[in-house]
Amino acid sequence: MTKNKPQLRSRSWFDDPDHPDMTALYLERYLNYGLTREELQSGKPIIGIAQTGSDLSPCNRPHLELAKRIRDGIRDAGGIAMEFPVHPIQETGKRPTASLDRNLAYLGLVEILYGYPLDGVVLTVGCDKTTPACLMAAATVDIPAIVLSGGPMLNGYSGGRLCGSGTAIWEAREEHAKGELDYEGFMKRAADSAPSAGYCNTMGTASTMNSLSEVLGMQLPGGGSIPAPYRERGQVAYHTGQRIVDLVREDIRPSSILTREAFENAIVVNSALGGSTNAPIHITAVARHIGVDLQIEDWEKHGLDVPMLVNLQPAGKYLAEDFHRAGGVPAVVGELSKKGLIHEGCLTVSGQSIGENCKGRGSENSDVIRSFDKALMPSAGFKVISGNLFDSAIMKLSVLSEDFRDRYLNNPDDPDAFEGDAVVFDGPEHYRKLIDDPSLNITKNSILFIRGAGPIGYPGAAEVVNMRVPDYLLRRGIKYLPCIGDGRQSGTSGSPSILNASPEAAVGGGLALLKNGDRIRIDLNKGQANMLVSEQEIQSRQQDLEAAGGYAYPESQTPWQEIQRGIVDQLSEGMVLKNAVKYQRIVAT
Ligand code: FES
Ligand code: MG
């Protein structure tokens, strides 16, 4: 695997005899905290540690400690570590939405990796958007890079029952709305769901993206699932530090790892995980930055018929600690490989292929990670939906409850399609204000819509499509209504939704023309969702909308909101910054 030793790029900063003045200038300030000239001019690789942890980012805070073990590994393997901060992205703490900051962190990290004397980088990831932001930057710059997860939280318990982060809150808010759980009880349940340091312990966006970074080949085998407090977490941090030094010496870059086949592996594993609906957005973004043509249709083509093997909340029963004990990602890849569903030849940061990494691996707890004959669900991938409301949207089939399937899909007269009446909300604030208002007259035959929630309408795309039904329906035992929207939804939510609709209302998508009471027909088998409104009426609404100056959305509150709104792509295209995509592999091989 070892190639001819490449000239390290850091030497053009620290040891360029043709430009002694510049070398002196670059060197002297890195000496002032105790590094020596001998070290910086020794020809040892300089390895960045992209630190995403901070007090503002609790999910990634374990990295503040783990960085010490990464440093030990780098030093022992003959490298020099330089740790630096990445713009924080805390999913649950950032207003208006953390996803606004994914592209900002990406841009910042690209500048750092390109503009400083780094030969390779350890990407510390965890909370939802930190993984894609780091992978996108590594893809653009294309210097040797390796991912280290901070690890999920331990299992949460409440009243003796497993209690998973995010999911517990979606459930508790219903009990609270029905008057079954008081404020104190609600807050206690939330705290119980987050029992230790680490990121979400459900198969939400964080565990999905950490697992998929391993499947893509960017993380050492097993590294995506070790709980944050476990002994192995520090140990894999040490090995990650060692390994990045070798990756620099071997000149193995993201572009040799992030291939078309690797992305197809990620799609397949995502179905087996019951993974988050945010995965298509982020995986598409990484693919676009490395120059792999991945379309939303690829999710259905490669992923729809893959069964769900991992029994984790929100689609299943267990939590991340159980997933790790059952063998984690290598066990899932091992099970899928038995059926020939994995491109086994894909190179990984271990220096071996994914097939070699996972050879002979399989489930170590057959209820948590199932075999094919005991799969939790036959087709667990995303269905791609289109029609006169949008060009594309996705639906996560793995979370459709029995009750939902019985009510809507197993109807003997019409097994694949159902109709309902639209109730339309314009953005999250409108929905929150009106959802319990009886005058809207929401019934069990309603379909809830939310628009103005896409990357431009609600800068960064709001996680709101999983709308709670009104209190008065909850009290009558109706837990879910079909929800459709141009926003996203939390990966920890089990709501039956058609989401990530593109183009969004704010750029003239069909959702902008919808009115309360419009009849909607959804045919999941054909992958169609349409408003049953005449072509003439649609044209007339279109003219009215244009006369009004287009779909109105709230003004930007910060400079970045305004800047991003001007250059961001739609969710089906990964919500990337359009003019960033042409910058690929910007550090030449
Ligand atoms: Fe950070 Fe879920 S909120 S991982
Ligand atoms: Mg989320």
Predicted confidence at residue 411, as pLDDT, reads 64
CA dihedral 20, 22, 23, 27 (to 10 degrees): 140
Q: Identify the residue whose tokens are 């960033």.
A: 580
Q: Is 497 helix (H, G, I), strand (E, B) or coil?
A: strand
Which residue ranges of the chain lie beneath pLDDT 50? 1-3
Residues in contact with 18: Cβ distance below 8 Å, sequence separation at least 6, in sequence order: none
With a 6 A CB cut-off, is 131 part of the ligand 1 pocket? Answer: no
Average pLDDT, the chain: 94
Predicted confidence at residue 3, as pLDDT, reads 46
Ligand nearest to the CA of 102: 2
Going by CA atoms, what residue is nearest to atom 1 of ligand 1? 127
How far is Cα 73 from Cα 71, in angstroms, rounded to an integer?
A: 5
| pLDDT digit string, tens, across residues 510-523 | 999 999 999 999 99
Going by CA atoms, what residue is nearest to atom 3 of ligand 1? 91
What pTM does this model have?
Answer: 0.96
With a 6 A CB cut-off, is 206 part of the ligand 1 pocket? Answer: yes
Cα torsion 99, 104, 107, 113: sign: negative
With a 6 A CB cut-off, is 127 part of the ligand 1 pocket? Answer: yes
From 480, 216, 241, select the one nearest 348 (Cα to Cα). Answer: 216
Structure tokens at 300: 């259905």
Structural contact between residues 513 and 538, judged by C-beta atoms closer than 8 angstroms: yes
Q: For 287-311, b where at least 16 C-beta lie within 10 A, e where not — what string? A: bbbbebebebebbbebbbebbbbbb
Residue type, 310: V
Ligand 1 atom nearest to CA at 126: 4
With a 6 A CB cut-off, is 463 part of the ligand 1 pocket? Answer: no
Predicted confidence at residue 7, as pLDDT, reads 84
With a 6 A CB cut-off, is 91 part of the ligand 1 pocket? Answer: yes
Q: Is 348 helix (H, G, I), strand (E, B) or coil?
A: coil
Predicted confidence at residue 6, as pLDDT, reads 59
ipTM of the complex: 0.89
| pLDDT digit string, tens, across residues 526-539 | 899 999 999 999 99
Judged on CB neighbours under 10 Å (0-12, 13-18, 19+), 557 is exposed
Predicted confidence at residue 410, as pLDDT, reads 63
Ligand 1 atom nearest to CA at 59: 1
Q: Is 347 helix (H, G, I), strand (E, B) or coil?
A: strand
